Amino acid sequence: MKVILKSDIKGVGKKDDVINVADGYARNYLFPRKLAVLATEGNLISLKEKNDAQRFKKQSEYGEARELAKKLSKLSVTFKVKTGENGRLFGSITSKDIAEKIKSEFGIEVDKKKIVLDEAIKSAGVYDLEVKVYPEVSSKIKVEVIEG
């Protein structure tokens, strides 16, 4: 019997997979627990439409992410901070500070978790940081920390 899975089932398949299972397994286990529906013509068409809509949404999100990456690659963020001896900062600059500065200066909202910063910036200088905009789409941003 052909069924469409409604959730991931270990050893059987993933959500929205169309698979063949034994009639008894489908009627006695999958259908009562609402883990699958019968793969009728109507259900297959609605599954195809759903997959097409998801694919279109992902493509549009990917396009938007590439546009954002282009904008970010042209940006340079400057922080004027007080420093002690040897150019060490009083405090540090974190990814949250960088995200807030980008939003306030350029109006572009970037999630602080997507800014790749191994450690907080603790000394003056110029840093090239990576911003992961979308899976497989990233951009470099220039962060300049100067004594002020």
| Six token digits for residue 84 | 């002690």
The verdict on 47 and 72 lying in the same domain is no
* pLDDT 10s digits, 70-123: 998 998 999 998 888 777 888 889 999 999 999 999 999 999 999 998 888 888
Final residue in a domain of this structure, among 29, 48, 64? 64
Tokens 């034994």 map to which residue? 22
Question: 50: domain CATH number?
Answer: 3.40.5.10
The verdict on 35 and 77 lying in the same domain is no
The verdict on 57 and 71 lying in the same domain is no
The verdict on 73 and 119 lying in the same domain is yes
- Whole-angstrom distance, CA of residue 88 vs CA of residue 125: 10
Number of domains in the chain: 2
Rg (CA), the chain: 25
- Whole-angstrom distance, CA of residue 23 vs CA of residue 51: 26
* pLDDT 10s digits, 33-81: 999 999 999 999 999 999 999 999 999 999 999 999 999 899 899 999 8
The verdict on 42 and 90 lying in the same domain is no
The verdict on 11 and 47 lying in the same domain is yes
| Other CB atoms within 10 Å distance of the CB of residue 6 | 14
The verdict on 27 and 92 lying in the same domain is no
The verdict on 55 and 81 lying in the same domain is no
Task: Show Cβ contacts of residue 131 under 8 Å, excluding neighbours closer than 6 positions.
Answer: 69, 72, 110, 114, 115, 116, 138, 139, 140, 141
